[in-house]
Chain A
């Protein structure tokens, strides 16, 4: 809009010019606000779950229900409504689990029909416990409005009170609270509602769902503390998709089978998924597996069955043997349909948790007791990974874009059922032998404290300790090349490519205050993934050890040159190697500095810690 304050006075001619040129801008803005024109066509939907919506005259109608489930309330409106509910419902209590960078509380609602509101009493009660969080990406906020309806129905509305008889429930209605208040109708271009929504990343542009391993954000630190304190039996992370169109309105699942918690994976795939899918289907929804188009566009290349790394909630849950379900509502479905599907999923998750609790406990205990001699650092696609699967797709066609010159998919809004390929990402990639323990020297306490924050048991040395250990030298380590998925810098950190590590056995005296972490514990595999430099979510690859890239101390030529001559005279083999290097490497041959450095590296004066990873491995056996 023209700023009249700056112009002082405006002539009629200037006003006409403004009118002339402002016209197209107004017209253009329509193409940004007409969601239906922007997004692929819809297939009409109605389902039994629509009966769940409270009437406008219901005293406990939620703010979103009042809007017809087309809008979502602000942080203040949400918390205010919850405070009113908690005041009326003795089964509920609100607990602040931390504060955001902008000073907002991360609220968690504790729901227990027994009034068990402390972590230890709840654990001691023997009742299963479900933790669900909404809005880790705050534009994907369906879970909040579904959760408000469910809390109401389990308490003051007395519609689903039996759920709390069998299961305790922790609910984080808005996880990324600061992002939730960064509100706009333009925050998610690929999504049908709500009318306005929050932003994906925090006030410092950090993605909570890339932070589960490194723990930079107060939000993820808070939820990991909840996991450690309350020890939930089932953890739900409620999202909304981006990407391809298909009929499914709600997709969900654990990490791909064969991951770090195979018994839990079996429970999720064989018990949880069929049960929840069946109930969703009964309620008129169209449940499906987690789907990522393999070609990034449509289903012609099939879809990926993904194993998340520990930076993601589902990968993190898998590696720490916490049954974790990633829920991805389909972004192109209307907000109302997505909220109702989430409600049904939450209810059936509680039902199945109650009825199949013993089987789940058996699975969890089996995975927690695993002590594999080697640990997979990540999963990749294999050679025989493809299988065809019936798929409820949407008909599509491709056209050549005059903008990009490439093909673009156009979704037609018509159901198309046909088999498509499933591409499994479940084959072990890099595998390392597990040491008995890791030692982090006292000077790297910042890293050690993050390991401890994960709930991993630690022994801190009260006095210096001399130990025979294995250490990695990382001669090829460098700043990682950026990619589409992982730019660099990324998430406020410089990502490091570790190259191929070299391992050496040596004796080190660690100072008092150093930290030893045994791998013989429930979270032993998580420990390995945090500390092995070849692990994609290790602290090393997240750039916590940049200091090792600076070589210190220098050799003056007037000292080094005579010493080099003595070294050659003393070692004929060294002379041969030097001559071969001169002959094969012209850059080396033409550089006096490189020549002297070649000798300096072979002296005991050279920086012993240059490119040496400070975290030591205590050999197994």
Chain B
């Protein structure tokens, strides 16, 4: 499929998610509480403590581990390799950023996670002592 067409379709799909972008602002879950929201669409916020682009693994996922590095993280955002083209930046560059991700929370092996496929599903702001930069 043409990447541009696919991006448009993915964007369309996101628009029809149960919550609108405006509503996302009203339903913010902290990463540590995501475990209690299995099966819900929500916006999960926290600090990305570690990123891992697992190039050698099936599906080549990028993991954004919140609060602590694996295995002490309390929430993970997963971006599959096929979806990396939907991002203007390398997702693994978000390590150390404060971020909010929007999508479906699922719990696997007692750990909550969220698969995102387009850049609009995550907003991130770098934590710096002398000011902040953002990737949205």
Q: Name A's B-contacting residues (CB within 8 A).
A: 114-126, 228-229, 231, 365, 368, 455, 457
Contacts and interface: CB of A to CB of B under 8 A. Distances in A.
Contacts of B71: 119-120, 123, 228-229, 231, 455
B123 interface: no
Specify the main secondary structure of chain B where it touches its partner.
loop
Interface string B40-63: 000000000000101011100101
Contacts of B110: 365, 368
A109 to B, nearest CB: 15
Nearest to B63: A120
Interface residues of B, number: 17
A116 B52 contact: no
Contacts of B70: 119-120, 229
14 contacts: A115-B56, A116-B58, A117-B56, A117-B57, A118-B56, A119-B70, A120-B71, A121-B58, A122-B57, A124-B61, A124-B108, A229-B71, A231-B71, A368-B110
A365 B58 CA distance: 27
B58 A123 contact: no
Contacts of B56: 115, 117-118
- Kindly name the residue among A115, A118, A228, A365 whose own CB sees the greatest number of chain B CB atoms within 10 A: A118
A115 B65 CA distance: 22
A125 B52 CA distance: 15
A48 B43 CA distance: 58
- Kindly name the residue among B52, B56, B58, B76 whose own CB sees the greatest number of chain A CB atoms within 10 A: B58
Given A114-B58, A125-B58, A365-B110, A120 B72 contact: no
A368 B109 CA distance: 11
B52 A118 contact: yes
B47 to A, nearest CB: 16
A125 B109 CA distance: 10
A118 B109 contact: no
A580 B78 CA distance: 75
B114 to A, nearest CB: 12
A246 B113 CA distance: 51
Given A115-B56, A118-B54, A118-B56, 10 more contacts: A114-B58, A116-B58, A117-B56, A118-B52, A121-B58, A123-B71, A124-B61, A124-B113, A126-B109, A229-B71
B62 to A, nearest CB: 11
Nearest to A361: B109
Nearest to B72: A457
B109 A121 contact: no
A228 B73 CA distance: 12
Interface string B112-123: 010000000000
Nearest to B52: A120
